[in-house]
Structure 1
Amino acid sequence: MHDTFLTTRGTLRVPKEVLKALKAKPGTRFVWHVREDGSLYVRAKTLALEDLAGILTPRDGKRVSIEDMSPFR
């Protein structure tokens, strides 16, 4: 667990170990969610949708077009 403090300018310093674990770089976007119970959930958006392109490969090597995937053909 790491502690951080709110400055008089309203900024927080994220500990180096946390940034490293998240693979965050300058410009990384953080999304903040305050839950009903008052707890805070922060998520680092380190991947864009384009970064996920090609990570799944078909088992049998066959590719399927978008048109073939449509249930309304």
Structure 2
Amino acid sequence: VKNPWPNVDAHSGVLLNHFGLTEARYYTVLFGVSRSIGICSQLIWDRALGLPLERPKSVTMDWLENYCKKAKAA
């Protein structure tokens, strides 16, 4: 097997069907909308805090508050 780890889409269809979304043609739309919402939230962080759009690590709320206090003081 070239890639033993399945793509997330392999499981999302089963889960969406389980939770009542049975129209398979909407799966791609739902995936696209969720990606768009994620990009929009990253854009807001970029504009509000001057952070880059892609951050590989997550941060805590305490870190964000300290960062804002330091930026305001500077």
Q: Scaled by the length of structure 1, what TM-score is found?
A: 0.25
Larger radius of gyration: 1
- Identify which of structures 1 and 2 has the higher relative contact order when contacts are C-alpha pairs closer than 8 Å and 6+ apart: 1
More helix by share: 2
